[in-house]
Amino acid sequence: MKRFFYRSQQTAVGAVLLTVFLLLVMPEGARARLKSAIGGLFLPVIGISTTGQVALESLGQLGATDAESFPTNQALGQAAGAPPTPAELQLDNERLAEENRQLREAVEWERRIPWETKLARVVGRDPFNWWRRIKINLGSNKGVQFNQPVISTQGQLVGRISEVGPLTSWVLLVGDPNCKFSALIKESRSQGGIVSPRKYSADPRVVELTYLPNDVELRPGQAVVTSGLGGGFPKEIPVGQVVDSWVSKNGLYVEARVKMHANLNQLEAVRVLTRF
């Protein structure tokens, strides 16, 4: 019995070490397929979770409509007893005007852009804090392809597609060490490259723009857009604004910190540029 116990322990250790060794020496393509297949095991729970979320949202909307249609006695009493003051009405008016402006902008933006986009829901994130990736609910079945650009619903740059599965895809967010691209200062048209910050920053919206020419005049607040060089991203997608700048240690180029427009920690839906 004791012998069997020790033998089973040896078998367990051996099996784990052999698996790790095989996975590490496996060809890249086979490993990616295996990774996709294992990740596919989570599709049923992703489906259940998404359906549940949608159902809850629709229930919430139903609840809101009911409440608006049948105001409570207390609300009626308040409305009858105390009419809103001009200041309250003005505040309400300003809020509605702002909402209207945002909706108009979104509609105008959709009409203006020359690209074909597909709306996707964010269904997951990389569980490790040292990578910045999100999972969306569109895959190769919806025409999503490797390296396609991804933007926020307001049209600001978010990242690019890094892995495509049959039903879901992974998006590499701007700021991840593996997501680098060419960008330019909109005003001066000076070109540089966006890279992730050298060291980890608690604010995921801050990235670095490097290799800017020495004679560039940078001011905080200047807009940064994609340059279109390399063909990975179309031209003129808004990226962010310059926060501050400095000359590199070797004095050969200028670097700047850029605060991105898109809030990458609170993305719920994104657009994949399928044709650009």
Residues of the shown chain interacting with another protein in the complex, contacts defined by CB under 8 A: 8-9, 11-13, 15-16, 19-20, 23-24, 31, 34-36, 38-39, 41-42, 45-46, 49, 123-133, 135, 162, 170, 172, 175-178, 196-197, 199-202, 265-266
In the complex, what is the shortest distance from the CB of residue 212 to another protein, in angstroms, rounded to a whole number? 22
By beta-carbon proximity to another protein, the closer residue of 50 and 90 is 50
In the complex, what is the shortest distance from the CB of residue 14 to another protein, in angstroms, rounded to a whole number? 9
By beta-carbon proximity to another protein, the closer residue of 41 and 87 is 41
Pairing assessment for the beta strands 116-125 and 133-136 based on DSSP bridges:
antiparallel
By beta-carbon proximity to another protein, the closer residue of 33 and 95 is 33
Spatial CA neighbour of 164 closest among 138, 196, 197? 138
- Residue 13 tokens, joined: 């250790």
Contacting residues for 190 by C-beta, under 8 A, at least 6 apart: 184, 212, 213, 216
Rounded to whole angstroms, how far apart are CA atoms 210 and 255?
4
Please give the C-alpha separations between residue 155 and each of 23, 117, 138, 151, in angstroms, as whole numbers. 39, 10, 18, 5
In the complex, what is the shortest distance from the CB of residue 264 to another protein, in angstroms, rounded to a whole number? 11
By beta-carbon proximity to another protein, the closer residue of 70 and 200 is 200
By beta-carbon proximity to another protein, the closer residue of 132 and 261 is 132
> Three-state DSSP class for 133?
strand
In the complex, what is the shortest distance from the CB of residue 247 to another protein, in angstroms, rounded to a whole number? 23
- Which amino acid is present at 255? E
In the complex, what is the shortest distance from the CB of residue 124 to another protein, in angstroms, rounded to a whole number? 4
